[in-house]
Structure 1
Amino acid sequence: MQACVPTAASGERAYPLPPAYPAALLRMLALSGYGLWMLLGLALALGIYRGGRSEALVPLAVGAVFVSTGLLAACLHLPGLSDWHGWFPARRIRPTREALLALAAYLPMMAVGGLVRGDNAFWATRVAGAALALCSAASLVYTVHSYRRRLPEGVLRRSAQLPVSRVVAAWYAGGLWLWLCLVAQDGAVHAAGSRPWIMVLLALALLLGLIEGLRWQALNPPEGWAPGHRVRGRTARFIAALLTYAVPSLALLVVDLSEAGVALVALAAVSCLLGRTIEQRAYEAALARLCRADHPASPGG
């Protein structure tokens, strides 16, 4: 789902406004779903995913629910949630290009659902998994591109890290949900054990934290900002960091030492989802303030 775009005055360029928290949560759910699909599809394509039909169908279904929640809200025409990738299903039949690309990811998803078998080594399953990963990545990257091209030139340069940040965030969040799907079924992630998976997730958390730091540093708020804006931004970033990195990392480090493995992984996944929602909403609010600083006469400025 896209951030709301105000109507520009004559001759002015419209820029996206930060979404409300319900819309931001739906966008982060979709990001987690695409990340889950990317990891599942890549593992199937490489032939390293563990055997079992339900082991593939459960995360596939969870990803479909996450990706489709925003579309369902748009079809129901809920207040503030009436668009999906710039498409208003309740008012306009023809989807946007961004919505068509998002819908295209459902095709390999259904193919994977129909092809997965016991060992998941069938060549068609691996091809469908590769297509699922590619379509999910393409939809995610194009959504970021569509958002960024509506930013003013100066702000556009400051958000250069956004595409990489979204992809890594999708891997990290999707990896937590994929782990939860597998652990909830039989308590195991892979025959090699859960520690390699934990190390991968911790490495993704570290990488994402570095990218996020560079992304915020690139904003460099202009002189004259109200102190209240800075305090709210810092507070939101602190809370988001706790939920995105601290709580999941602590849960990952102690999950092997506790019998409540499923509960800890669920806590890590939900905490990351909430943290990413707060962080992304705060970041887009900062971008909107920069847009208003560059175009003080723009609507909403």
Structure 2
Amino acid sequence: MRKLSIIGMPMDLGQMRRGVDMGPSAIRYAGVNERLKPLFDEIHDLGDIPIGREEVVVDKESNLRNLDLVAEKNANLADKVDEAIQSGAFPLVFGGDHSIAIGTLAGVSKHYNNLGVIWYDAHGDLNTAETSPSGNIHGMPLAVSMGIGHPALTEIGGYAPKVKPENIVIIGARSLDDGEKILIKEKGIKVYTMHEIDRMGMTKVMEETIAYLKDRTDGVHLSLDLDGLDPVEAPGVGTPVIGGISFRESNLAMEMLEEAKLITSAEFVEVNPILDDKNKTASVAVALMASLFGEKLL
């Protein structure tokens, strides 16, 4: 029996632009339940994790924005994801900004000895308090999940790290800070920038990614930031970077992941309807989810 648990995480505390808290609503409004219903025996939409909102609080020691609240809410998300997996369901999380990946991975990773992660994103999200230009935690979740960062974040779920650097593949990178570049080289993280995607083609990139992760992991989490796509096709994101992956390439990537039966959990993040054009970005997200879960044209 194929079960899906949907968890909304309407959190905008990891960055400064309001509106991304409405991402889960926008994705639901774009018809996600109806689109995915034929692909599962059961779909349980567990609603949204309540976030609340305080004034922006900058931690005096670390200079991180909203540290305590981001940590608390991610711990709540980790519990929900953990419960979904225990119930035998595939956990699908709607963001929210990308700091929610801290909680998703904390809930997922405890069920695997060697979790793999595909980070589909324009950014590396490998900053720390020391390297971040902004102090925004949505630029840090991958570093945090490797056990690098503030202990309030790295220790969510009571263990660290959640993922090993050799089990990570970043796809679509085209905006990396200096500290992130150093960390990528130090840790040997596999990265396919837009240069590789243009040069090799998405088919080759995905074939290599699947082959790389298949033998070394016992589960793979997909963390898809809509800003991985080109802003022409996904305009409703907080940190758009021109020259991104096309919808067609992304759709192919999702179809190849489905064929490989590789993905065991997923999240789609950074949909901001305030910055969007007629909910276009949420609709793109839903179409990619459908391909990931096996929707076929014929």
Specify if TM > 0.5. Answer: no
TM-score interval w.r.t. the shorter chain? 0.3 to 0.5
TM-score (norm: length of structure 2): 0.34
Which one has a larger percent helix, Structure 1 or Structure 2?
1
TM-score (norm: length of structure 1): 0.34
